[in-house]
C-alpha cells in the first residue's frame, strides 16, 4: 500500500498538481456555469412569483379593496393592505384616492423594486365611478438575498466536493500513474553503462506485464530497450577488445620492426601551399637509425629538427602526401650520416609514412668490393708491368750477355791493334821531320778515332762487366761534391746545389760515381754551354729513400724518346754511343733503386735517382 508519508512527500508532484489544477478549473467553471443557470432560473421564478402575486392581488384582493373604498372604511382598508403586504416580497402598498389622499402601508422604496398599479372603480348604475389607484411595490431585495444565500450554499458545497474529489483524484493518480512515473524517472536518471544490471520494475506491475496496459507496455519497452542496449554494448565491447588487441599487435609490430618507420602530416602555409611536415609517430628502429628520441620529435616539423635538410627531399615527401603515389629510393642522408633505402607512401591525404632501411653496411661492402676490384685490376696491371719489365730486363740482360761476350772478344782482339795503331801514329807524328799540315791533321784524326774506338770498347766493357756492387756507407753530399769536382763542367754553366741534410746510402762508390757522372755529362751536353745545373739530395717516403736529382735547363727530351733513352745504343748525339743511361740503369737497379725522368722539350730535364737509405744494423 502507498504510505501517507510518501504521498505527502510527493505532493510537489508536478504532473499531479497540473492535473488537479485543470480539474479544479474545469469543475469550478462548470460549477459557476451551473450556478449561474440555476440562479438565473431562480431569479426568473421569483420574478414570476412576484407577477403572480400581482395577479393574485388583482384577482383576489382588488374587488374587496374596491368595496372597502366604496364604503370608505379606511381601517378595514388598512387591514386589507397589511394582509397583502404580508405576501412574499411585498414592500409597499399605497391607495391614492380621488382627492389625492393616500393610505399606505410598508416602507416606500425606490431601488430594486417592481411596481404595479390597479385602477379601482365601481359600476354604479350605468356609470363607472373611479374610486382611486392601488399601487403595489414589490421589493427585489428578498429575491437577491435568497439568490445570494443560494450562491453561498452552492459554492460552499461545490468547493468541499471539489476538494474531496481532487484529493481523491490526486491519490488515485499518484497510486495508479504518478509513483510509477517517478520510479521510471528515477530509473532513467540513474541509468548508466555501469548500472544496467537491474531491469525496470514497477510495484504492482511485475506480474502483470502481459496485461498490456500503457504502463506495462512502457516497462516492457524500457526493459527491452535496456536488453538491446546491453547486447549492443557487449558487441561493442567485444569489437573494442578485438580492436585493442589488433592495435596492440600492430603497435608491437610497429615498434619492434627492424625497419625505421615514421608517420608525418603535411604543414601548409596560410594560402594552403604545403611547405613542411611534422612527425606524428615513430618506432624504436627509427629512433635508433636517426639517433633522435620520440619525445624530442613528435609534433615537431622536420625543419625544426633538421634545419639543413635538403629541400628536394622535403619536396619529394610532400609530393607523395599530395599525389598519394608512393616512391622508393636509396640515398645517403647527410643529416644522419647513413645510406638509407627509403620507401614513402601516403595512407591518407596530407599524410605520409616513411620506411627506412639502413643499407650503409651493404653500400660499404659494395664500395669495398669495387675498390678491391679496382685494386685487383691495379695489382694485375702492376704484375703485368713487372712481368713485362722483368721480361725486358731478361731480354736486355741476354742482349748484354751476348754483347758482353762479343765485346769481350772484340775488345781483346781490337785493343792490341788499336794500341799498336795509337803508338804507331804517335811515332809517325813525332818522327816526321818536316810534316805538312795535312799529314799532321790526318795523323791526329787517326789518334782521335783510336781514342774514340778505345772509349767505345771501354764503355762496352763497362756495360757488360758491371759486377755486384761492393756496398759501403756513403755520404751523398761527399759523393756529389767529389763527382762535381771530377766532371768537366764549362764555367758558363751555373751550378746550383741543394744538399742541406746529410744522407747516407749503402753503395759502391765507383759505380755510383759512374751513374751521377753520366747524368751530369748528359745534362751538360743538353745545355750547350749555358744554363743552370741543379743538384739536390733529399729523403723521401718517410726517410726510406734518398733522392738525388740532376736537373738541367737544356734541350729536353722528346716524349717519343722517353721510353727509348735507357736502351743501349740509343743516342741522339753525333759523338754519343748510347751506353750512358743503360749503364746508370744497370747500376741503380743493382743497388735496389730506380731512376725517374721528367722532361719538357725546350725547357729542360730532371733525372731523379732513388736509392734506399742506409740503415744502421741494430742486431749487432
Ligand atoms: N739531360 C739530358 N737532356 C737531353 N737529352 C738527354 C739527356 N740525357 C740523356 N739524353 C738523351 O738520351 C740519349 C741517351 O743518353 P746516353 O747517355 O745513354 O747516351 P749518349 O749520351 O748519347 O751517349 P754516351 O753517354 O754513351 O756517350 C742521349 O743521346 C740524349 O738524346
Ligand atoms: Mg751520355
Q: How far is the CA of 517 from the centre of ligand 2 (A)?
A: 9
Question: Could you give the domains of the chain?
Answer: 7-176 (3.30.450), 257-358 (3.30.450.20), 361-465 (1.10.287), 468-612 (3.30.565.10)
Ligand 1 neighbourhood includes 43 CB (under 6 angstroms): no
Q: Which ligand neighbours the alpha carbon of 568 most closely?
A: 1
Ligand 1 neighbourhood includes 359 CB (under 6 angstroms): no
Q: How far is the CA of 184 from the centre of ligand 2 (A)?
A: 129
Give the nearest ligand 1 atom to 581 CA: 18
Q: How far is the CA of 210 from the centre of ligand 2 (A)?
A: 136
Ligand 1 neighbourhood includes 603 CB (under 6 angstroms): no
Look at residue 12 in the predicted model and tell me its pLDDT. 62
Look up residue 367 and give its three cell numbers. Answer: 664500395
CB contact at 8 A, 302 and 279: yes
Ligand 1 neighbourhood includes 573 CB (under 6 angstroms): yes
Ligand 1 neighbourhood includes 568 CB (under 6 angstroms): no
Q: What whole-number distance in Å separates Cα of residue 276 and Cα of residue 264? A: 10
Look at residue 202 in the predicted model and tell me its pLDDT. 77
- Pocket probe for ligand 1: among 535, 581, 603, the residue whose CB has the most ligand atoms within 8 Å is 581
3-state DSSP helix/strand/coil % of the chain, to nearest 5: 55, 20, 25
- Pocket probe for ligand 1: among 464, 493, 561, 565, the residue whose CB has the most ligand atoms within 8 Å is 565
Whose alpha carbon is nearest atom 8 of ligand 1? 522
Q: How far is the CA of 541 from the centre of ligand 1 (A)?
A: 29
Whose alpha carbon is nearest atom 29 of ligand 1? 571
pLDDT means per 10 residues, the chain with 620 residues, are: 59 70 84 87 90 91 88 88 90 90 89 90 85 91 89 87 82 80 81 75 65 75 85 90 87 79 92 92 88 90 85 91 92 82 91 90 88 86 87 74 71 80 86 80 87 77 74 91 89 90 90 92 93 93 91 96 89 86 90 94 96 73
Q: What whole-number distance in Å separates Cα of residue 307 and Cα of residue 301? A: 10
Q: Which ligand neighbours the alpha carbon of 463 most closely?
A: 1
Give the nearest ligand 1 atom to 578 CA: 19
Ligand 1 neighbourhood includes 586 CB (under 6 angstroms): no
Q: Which ligand neighbours the alpha carbon of 572 most closely?
A: 1
Q: Which ligand neighbours the alpha carbon of 569 most closely?
A: 1
Q: Which ligand neighbours the alpha carbon of 553 most closely?
A: 1
- State the sign of the Cα–Cα–Cα–Cα dihedral 86, 90, 96, 97: negative
First to last CA, the chain: 130
CB contact at 8 A, 516 and 479: yes
Cβ–Cβ contacts within 10 Å for residue 205, how many?
A: 18
Ligand 1 neighbourhood includes 531 CB (under 6 angstroms): no
Give the nearest ligand 1 atom to 579 CA: 26
Q: What is the pLDDT of residues 352-395, one digit of tens each?
A: 999 988 888 888 888 888 888 888 888 888 888 888 888 877 77
Whose alpha carbon is nearest atom 17 of ligand 1? 580
Q: How far is the CA of 526 from the centre of ligand 2 (A)?
A: 10
Ligand 1 neighbourhood includes 572 CB (under 6 angstroms): yes
Ligand 1 neighbourhood includes 570 CB (under 6 angstroms): yes
Ligand 1 neighbourhood includes 557 CB (under 6 angstroms): yes
Ligand 1 neighbourhood includes 604 CB (under 6 angstroms): no
* CA distances from residue 581 to 119, 485, 546, 597 in whole angstroms, order as listed: 194, 21, 19, 11
Give the nearest ligand 1 atom to 555 CA: 4
Ligand 1 neighbourhood includes 345 CB (under 6 angstroms): no
Whose alpha carbon is nearest atom 31 of ligand 1? 572
Grid look-up 751513374 returns: 515
Q: How far is the CA of 314 from the centre of ligand 2 (A)?
A: 69
Look at residue 619 in the predicted model and tell me its pLDDT. 44
Ligand 1 neighbourhood includes 554 CB (under 6 angstroms): yes
Q: Which ligand neighbours the alpha carbon of 562 most closely?
A: 1
Q: Could you tell me which of 341, 358, 241, 346 has the C-alpha nearest to residue 290?
A: 358
Ligand 1 neighbourhood includes 583 CB (under 6 angstroms): no
Q: What is the pLDDT of residues 141-192, one digit of tens each?
A: 988 998 899 889 888 988 888 888 878 887 887 788 778 887 888 888 887 7
Q: What whole-number distance in Å separates Cα of residue 216 and Cα of residue 214? A: 6
Look at residue 468 in the predicted model and tell me its pLDDT. 81
Q: What whole-number distance in Å separates Cα of residue 586 and Cα of residue 466? A: 8
Look at residue 564 in the predicted model and tell me its pLDDT. 92
Q: Could you tell me which of 547, 546, 479 has the C-alpha nearest to residue 512?
A: 479
Q: Which ligand neighbours the alpha carbon of 576 most closely?
A: 1
Amino acid at each position: 500500500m502507498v504510505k501517507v508519508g510518501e504521498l505527502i512527500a510527493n505532493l510537489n508532484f508536478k504532473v499531479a498538481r497540473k492535473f488537479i489544477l485543470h480539474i479544479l478549473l474545469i469543475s469550478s467553471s462548470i460549477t459557476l456555469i451551473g450556478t449561474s443557470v440555476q440562479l438565473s432560473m431562480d431569479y426568473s421564478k421569483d420574478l414570476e412569483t412576484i407577477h403572480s402575486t400581482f395577479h393574485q392581488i388583482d384577482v383576489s384582493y382588488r374587488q374587496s379593496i374596491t368595496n372597502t373604498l366604496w364604503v370608505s372604511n379606511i381601517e378595514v382598508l388598512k387591514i386589507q393592505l397589511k394582509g397583502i403586504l404580508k405576501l412574499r416580497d411585498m414592500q409597499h402598498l399605497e391607495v391614492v384616492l380621488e382627492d389625492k389622499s393616500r393610505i399606505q402601508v410598508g416602507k416606500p422604496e425606490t431601488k430594486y423594486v417592481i411596481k404595479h398599479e390597479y385602477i379601482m372603480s365601481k359600476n354604479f348604475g350605468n356609470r363607472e365611478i373611479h374610486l382611486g389607484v392601488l399601487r403595489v411595490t414589490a421589493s427585489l431585495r428578498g429575491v437577491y438575498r435568497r439568490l445570494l444565500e443560494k450562491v453561498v450554499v452552492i459554492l460552499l458545497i461545490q468547493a468541499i466536493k471539489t476538494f474531496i474529489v481532487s484529493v481523491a483524484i490526486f491519490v488515485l493518480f499518484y497510486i495508479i500513474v504518478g509513483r510509477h512515473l517517478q520510479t521510471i524517472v528515477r530509473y532513467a536518471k540513474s541509468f548508466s553503462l555501469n548500472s544496467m544490471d537491474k531491469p525496470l520494475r514497477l510495484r504492482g506491475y511485475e506480474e502483470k506485464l502481459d496485461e498490456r496496459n500503457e504502463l506495462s507496455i512502457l516497462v516492457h519497452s524500457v526493459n527491452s530497450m535496456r536488453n538491446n542496449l546491453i547486447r549492443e554494448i557487449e558487441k561493442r565491447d567485444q569489437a573494442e577488445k578485438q580492436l585493442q588487441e589488433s592495435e596492440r599487435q600492430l603497435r608491437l609490430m610497429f615498434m619492434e620492426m627492424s625497419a625505421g618507420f615514421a608517420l608525418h602530416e603535411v604543414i601548409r602555409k596560410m594560402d594552403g601551399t604545403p611547405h613542411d611536415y611534422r612527425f606524428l609517430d615513430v618506432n624504436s628502429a627509427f629512433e635508433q637509425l636517426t639517433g633522435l628520441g620520440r619525445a624530442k620529435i613528435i609534433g615537431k616539423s622536420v625543419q625544426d629538427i633538421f634545419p639543413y635538410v635538403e629541400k628536394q627531399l622535403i619536396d619529394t615527401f610532400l609530393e607523395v602526401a599530395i599525389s598519394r603515389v608512393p616512391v622508393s629510393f636509396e640515398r645517403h642522408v647527410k643529416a644522419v650520416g647513413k645510406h638509407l633505402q627509403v620507401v614513402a607512401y601516403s595512407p591518407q591525404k596530407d599524410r605520409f609514412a616513411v620506411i627506412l632501411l639502413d643499407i650503409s653496411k651493404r653500400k660499404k661492402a659494395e664500395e669495398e668490393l669495387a675498390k678491391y676490384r679496382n685494386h685487383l685490376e691495379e695489382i694485375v696491371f702492376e704484375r703485368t708491368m713487372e712481368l713485362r719489365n722483368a721480361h725486358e730486363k731478361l731480354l736486355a740482360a741476354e742482349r748484354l750477355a751476348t754483347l758482353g761476350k762479343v765485346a769481350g772478344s772484340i775488345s781483346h782482339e781490337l785493343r792490341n791493334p788499336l794500341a799498336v795503331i795509337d803508338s804507331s801514329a804517335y811515332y809517325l807524328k813525332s818522327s816526321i821531320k818536316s810534316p805538312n799540315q795535312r799529314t799532321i791533321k790526318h795523323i791526329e784524326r787517326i789518334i782521335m778515332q783510336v781514342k774514340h774506338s778505345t772509349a767505345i770498347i771501354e764503355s762496352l766493357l763497362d756495360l757488360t762487366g758491371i759486377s755486384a756492387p761492393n756496398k759501403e756507407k756513403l755520404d751523398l753530399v761527399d759523393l756529389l761534391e767529389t763527382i762535381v769536382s771530377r766532371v768537366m763542367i764549362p764555367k758558363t754553366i751555373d751550378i746550383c746545389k741543394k744538399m742541406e741534410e746529410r744522407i747516407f746510402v749503402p753503395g759502391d762508390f765507383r759505380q755510383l760515381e759512374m751513374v751521377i757522372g753520366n747524368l751530369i755529362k748528359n745534362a751538360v751536353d743538353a745545355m750547350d754551354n749555358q744554363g743552370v745545373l741543379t743538384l739536390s739530395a733529399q729523403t723521401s717516403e718517410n726517410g726510406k729513400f734518398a733522392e738525388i736529382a740532376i736537373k738541367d735547363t737544356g734541350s729536353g727530351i722528346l716524349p717519343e724518346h722517353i721510353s727509348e733513352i735507357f736502351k743501349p745504343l740509343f743516342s741522339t748525339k753525333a759523338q754519343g754511343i748510347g751506353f750512358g743511361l743503360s749503364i746508370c740503369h744497370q747500376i741503380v737497379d743493382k743497388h735496389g733503386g730506380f731512376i725517374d725522368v721528367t722532361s719538357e722539350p725546350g725547357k729542360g730535364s730532371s733525372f731523379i735517382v732513388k736509392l734506399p737509405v742506409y740503415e744502421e744494423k741494430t742486431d749487432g
